[in-house]
A and B are shown apart, each in its own frame.
Chain A
């Protein structure tokens, strides 16, 4: 796993500066905030493991998604009319002491690990400030220092379907760029990062705010824009899992493309340019 000795020249091998301090600080503080938000959010979901569309929704109303038990000791997830048995993971599972619990998300996925809506809300609502202030600060700073324009902005050429298709065919066989080209984000990376920065994170913050009865009084346009408090709650949940999907792909890409080099560049900022392959 060790890198080869430094080779000078544009063909790669040299150590270069890759990520700015602001990017590195935000990346890790945001990673922490998102993880805490997800795990405490799953515990909050456990208090009422049903999702609805519209303004209202409670037990007598139709839920489009439900995680629970079928009454015969089996865990299940129901989405619309489709039911999947999930015993052991969702709905019915064993805690650390081996006791059977009838809750949606299991102890190892939640903060805190034992059921407590009050404690989960303490974590979730405190870290919401870290998430929102961090994102706002990072976006403003990245606008000022040109990071967004230089590295995330998708050019007219990159938007062309032929270009996007080219990048997809390049990446399907996991062929990663070498040399200085490795420093530029390709259009798929730009799309993924833009999705997180401009769509997923803002949406999850706004839908969170839209669920607050206090905010609904002074900013009811937010709740109304999503079609009601329960719709906002459903979208909040869906975006959370879109972020989980991003996280899984993100981690897979880091692991497949030189994990040590990639992780180091996000900690120290230094990145070793991958060398051109001699066999082409």
Chain B
């Protein structure tokens, strides 16, 4: 049998060894996390996620729910108000003087008043909003299809991305988001001005927010002021296609 002192020293050895190994593991992971090469490898998985999802079901529709399945309270996240004085004036006037700019790679740049968006063919859908943080809320959205608005503007064949420029800011940086043409032309991708049967409230992105139902919440740009069709995301802010993508390295493809 092993005598007592050596048992204690062995126990101490195991304890120190385990703690040391864990410490090295954590330090190693943190170092890998900030190493460009390894991070690039992890980021490479994004194209696998997107490729597999698109390959399996490019046109699939997000699930829609019955009214009875709706969340009693729909959590607002991100920016819940906009400080900009021009926006505050528009909000106070019920967005009477507001227009949605549609420009970039289009034949006919547009400035659409809210009434024009409301007059287009509407789509109503009850869908589940999935936040990247993990929570979900089910709500009812209404608005014209983005594809209809892009049709009106005469989208160029060269356009590969649609960018949403927003009124809200994080500090000095404006919020923006982008989708590719698969999601831009998807039938459930709408410019929602109505939520749960009422005009979209400020906390949820008045007057118009994007609904891109097969992706996570941060893609659903709120307070949309301008829609720009582009060939590339290069040269636009941080170049990664969205505020969170630029600033926190969230994935551009947020389908998982």
Is B42 part of the contact surface with A, judged by Cβ < 8 Å? yes
A112 and B30 contact, CB distance less than 8 A: yes
Chain B residues within an 8 Å CB radius of A142: none
Q: Output the nearest chain B residue to A60 by Cβ-Cβ distance.
A: B73
Is B159 part of the contact surface with A, judged by Cβ < 8 Å? no
Determine the distance from Cα of A123 to Cα of B30 in the docked complex, in whole angstroms: 11
Contacts known (A55-B69, A58-B75, A212-B255); A118 close to B249, Cβ less than 8 A? yes
Determine the distance from Cα of A223 to Cα of B128 in the docked complex, in whole angstroms: 12
B128 and A55 contact, CB distance less than 8 A: yes
Chain A residues within an 8 Å CB radius of B62: 213, 216-217
Determine the distance from Cα of A94 to Cα of B214 in the docked complex, in whole angstroms: 38
Is A275 part of the contact surface with B, judged by Cβ < 8 Å? no
One of B49, B72, B248 near A60 (C-beta < 8 A): B72
A48 and B134 contact, CB distance less than 8 A: yes
Chain A residues within an 8 Å CB radius of B249: 118-119, 122
A212 and B256 contact, CB distance less than 8 A: yes
Mark B213-256 against chain A: 1 for CB-CB distance below 8 A, else 0.
11110000000000000000000000000001000111100111
Is A179 part of the contact surface with B, judged by Cβ < 8 Å? no
Mark A96-137 against chain B: 1 for CB-CB distance below 8 A, else 0.
000000000001100111101111011101100100000000
| Residue from the set B72, B73, B134 with the largest chain A CB neighbour count within 10 Å | B134
Contacts known (A112-B30, A217-B60); A58 close to B135, Cβ less than 8 A? yes
Is A44 part of the contact surface with B, judged by Cβ < 8 Å? yes
Residues from 204 to 218 in B contacting A, C-beta threshold 8 Å: 213-216
A58 and B248 contact, CB distance less than 8 A: no
B132 and A117 contact, CB distance less than 8 A: yes
A48 and B133 contact, CB distance less than 8 A: yes
B29 and A111 contact, CB distance less than 8 A: yes
- Kindly provide the distance from the CB of A233 to the nearest chain B CB, expressed in whole angstroms: 6
- Number of chain A residues close to chain B: CB under 8 A: 45
- Kindly provide the distance from the CB of B162 to the nearest chain A CB, expressed in whole angstroms: 18
Contacts known (A111-B33, A121-B251, A122-B42); A213 close to B131, Cβ less than 8 A? no
| Residue from the set B33, B56, B73, B213 with the largest chain A CB neighbour count within 10 Å | B33
Q: Output the nearest chain A residue to B62 by Cβ-Cβ distance.
A: A217
B45 and A229 contact, CB distance less than 8 A: no
| Residue from the set A112, A218, A220, A224 with the largest chain B CB neighbour count within 10 Å | A218
Residues from 14 to 73 in B contacting A, C-beta threshold 8 Å: 22, 26, 29-30, 33, 39, 41-46, 48-49, 53, 56-57, 60-63, 65, 69, 71-73
- Kindly provide the distance from the CB of B66 to the nearest chain A CB, expressed in whole angstroms: 11
Chain A residues within an 8 Å CB radius of B71: 56, 58, 60-61
Majority SS at the chain A contact face: helix
Residues from 61 to 83 in A contacting B, C-beta threshold 8 Å: 61
A125 and B256 contact, CB distance less than 8 A: yes
Is A59 part of the contact surface with B, judged by Cβ < 8 Å? yes
Chain A residues within an 8 Å CB radius of B256: 125, 211-215
B29 and A56 contact, CB distance less than 8 A: no
Determine the distance from Cα of A222 to Cα of B113 in the docked complex, in whole angstroms: 41
A213 and B130 contact, CB distance less than 8 A: yes
Determine the distance from Cα of A241 to Cα of B249 in the docked complex, in whole angstroms: 29
Contacts known (A61-B71, A125-B49); A108 close to B130, Cβ less than 8 A? no
Contacts known (A55-B65, A125-B256); A214 close to B136, Cβ less than 8 A? no
- Kindly provide the distance from the CB of B14 to the nearest chain A CB, expressed in whole angstroms: 9
Is B138 part of the contact surface with A, judged by Cβ < 8 Å? yes
Is A271 part of the contact surface with B, judged by Cβ < 8 Å? no
Determine the distance from Cα of A117 to Cα of B131 in the docked complex, in whole angstroms: 12
Determine the distance from Cα of A121 to Cα of B137 in the docked complex, in whole angstroms: 21
Mark A206-245 against chain B: 1 for CB-CB distance below 8 A, else 0.
0000011111111110011000011001000000000000
Determine the distance from Cα of A111 to Cα of B42 in the docked complex, in whole angstroms: 13
B53 and A214 contact, CB distance less than 8 A: yes
Q: Output the nearest chain B residue to A40 by Cβ-Cβ distance.
A: B29
B138 and A56 contact, CB distance less than 8 A: yes
Chain B residues within an 8 Å CB radius of A57: 135-136
Contacts known (A118-B248, A118-B249, A213-B130); A108 close to B26, Cβ less than 8 A? yes
Determine the distance from Cα of A122 to Cα of B71 in the docked complex, in whole angstroms: 30
B48 and A129 contact, CB distance less than 8 A: yes
B255 and A213 contact, CB distance less than 8 A: yes
Chain B residues within an 8 Å CB radius of A272: none
* Additional A-B contacts beyond A47-B133, A211-B256, A229-B130 (15; CB < 8 A): A36-B29, A39-B29, A58-B136, A58-B137, A61-B72, A111-B33, A122-B251, A123-B42, A125-B46, A214-B255, A216-B128, A217-B60, A217-B213, A223-B63, A230-B136
**5 A–B pairs (Cβ distance < 8 Å), ordered by A:** A57-B135, A57-B136, A61-B72, A117-B133, A218-B53
